[in-house]
Amino acid sequence: MTTTRIYMDWNATAPMSAAARDAFLTAFDLTGNGSSVHAEGRRIKTLIEGARRDVAALCDAEPACVTFTSGATEAANMVLTPDFRMGRTPLRIGRLYVSAIEHPAVREGGRFPKDRVHELAVTPAGTIDLDALDRALADHPNGEGLPMVAVMLVNNETGVVQPIAAVAARVKDAGGLLVVDAVQAVGRIPVSIADLGADFVILASHKIGGPKGAGALVARGEVLMPHALIHGGGQEKGHRSGTENPAALAGFGAAARAAKAALDSYAADVTALRSRLEMAMRDAAPDVLIHGVNSPRVANTTFFSLPGLKAETGQIAFDLEGVALSAGSACSSGKVGQSHVLMAMGADPALGALRISIGPTTTVDEIDRTIDVFARIAGRRRLKSAAA
């Protein structure tokens, strides 16, 4: 008898929602280029602008400040550059400061030379070390240009929420720019670009139940913008050339609209499921380590270690039992290795860590079946340890 597999890897990609799928398929059947002036082109343009409004609303931004990209990685590479314009006036960014727990798309530094990218320490609780940020900004050589700081709102591995308001205050005092990766935050906690104090926010469609291949760079205003990464026909007001993907953007807009509408119920429903999971995990394996548990976290993420169990071994064991989870970021070509997030937090690098991430359609039955699998794997680990 075949048992239905259990999907516990929403932080890697969320299942496409029914609303996003319907919007995607409807737009997929439409003919036309949004840059054309005939009726078919205008219809596509209207669809794209509707999606822009929905995505803007997800982070309380103005639609005119949303630049669509192929995903969050492209958005990061677009905004992480030394070269900006304030209107028509060139503006130089001297150095980029990134927290040690950023997604690889940000840690790589975009278009900054490697010697202009500086890593900021984090605390053992998984939050950026504000003292380290203070020191970096105090030592910033203003003659090179303004400082740029990039800090994610929610860590993709631990689910820990970063103190962005405190970061923003420091960046503004230093006259710098703040870029916030909100990929794992939107749809899970309220996000307002103004309240964050961010100059730019990065979003991805597939993390909120939209199709893959769509993302956005959201700016606080229209005046300050990076030099374009992709040049060509001048789409997206010249900020990102290339014919838009209307089907992906329609799905992105529908997913954004649905995520914002469900935000009030999301936290309570998903937190109850995660609490059930983590309580049972502690009962089955009292030595389980849940990382970031003493910090504010989004409701859907559990990042844990079982001493003596390697990440790769654990991931395979869960997969063979029908549970899909991950060993941290899923954006490293399938590599399973030491978590740079755990290393930055000062955890034992020998620890293997696994991530369970759930969503609003996760069921109690799926949680309970995952708990059963966890208990079996933890039990086999104890037997192996005793035999050794």
Which tokens hold the place of 206?
Answer: 């597939």
Indicate the residue among 261, 291, 317 that finishes a domain.
261
> Is 300 part of a structural domain of the chain?
yes
| pLDDT, tens only, 154-196 | 999 999 999 999 999 999 999 999 999 999 999 999 999 999 9
Alpha-carbon dihedral 239, 243, 245, 249, rounded to 10 degrees: 30
Binned at pLDDT 50, 70 and 90, residue 2 comes out as very low
Question: In terms of domains, do 182 and 298 share one?
Answer: no
Give pLDDT, residue 262: 94
| pLDDT, tens only, 63-104 | 999 999 999 999 999 999 999 999 999 999 999 999 999 999
> Is 334 part of a structural domain of the chain?
yes
Number of helices (H), then strands (E), belonging to the chain: the values are: 12, 14
Catalytic residues: 331
Q: Is the pLDDT score of 1 beyond 50?
A: no
Q: CA angle, 6 as apex, 269 and 297 as ends, to 5°?
A: 40
Strands 83-86 and 117-120: unpaired
Question: In terms of domains, do 234 and 323 share one?
Answer: no
Q: Is the pLDDT score of 270 beyond 70?
A: yes
Q: What is the DSSP annotation of 308-326?
A: T--HHHHHHHHHHTTEE-B
Question: In terms of domains, do 112 and 233 share one?
Answer: yes
Question: In terms of domains, do 98 and 203 share one?
Answer: yes
Question: In terms of domains, do 224 and 106 share one?
Answer: yes
> Is 186 part of a structural domain of the chain?
yes
> Is 159 part of a structural domain of the chain?
yes
User: Domain total for the chain?
Assistant: 2
How far is residue 24's CA from residue 319's CA, in Å, rounded to a whole number? 30
Domain containing residue 138: CATH number:
3.40.640.10
* Residue ranges making up the domain that contains 25: 19-261
Question: In terms of domains, do 222 and 282 share one?
Answer: no
Binned at pLDDT 50, 70 and 90, residue 286 comes out as very high
> Is 1 part of a structural domain of the chain?
no
> Is 327 part of a structural domain of the chain?
yes
Question: In terms of domains, do 241 and 306 share one?
Answer: no
Which tokens hold the place of 265?
Answer: 């119920």
Indicate the residue among 233, 261, 289 that finishes a domain.
261
Question: In terms of domains, do 190 and 323 share one?
Answer: no
Give pLDDT, residue 378: 93
> Is 304 part of a structural domain of the chain?
yes
Give the number of other Cβ atoms within 10 Å of residue 191's Cβ: 25
Question: In terms of domains, do 82 and 222 share one?
Answer: yes
Indicate the residue among 261, 296, 328 that finishes a domain.
261
Q: What is the mean pLDDT of the chain?
A: 94
Contacts of 114 (CB under 8 A, 6+ apart): none
Percent of the chain beyond pLDDT 90? 89
pTM across the whole model: 0.94
Q: Is the pLDDT higher at 161 or at 2?
A: 161
Question: In terms of domains, do 192 and 127 share one?
Answer: yes
Domain containing residue 338: CATH number:
3.90.1150.10
Question: In terms of domains, do 238 and 355 share one?
Answer: no
> Is 67 part of a structural domain of the chain?
yes
Question: In terms of domains, do 284 and 239 share one?
Answer: no
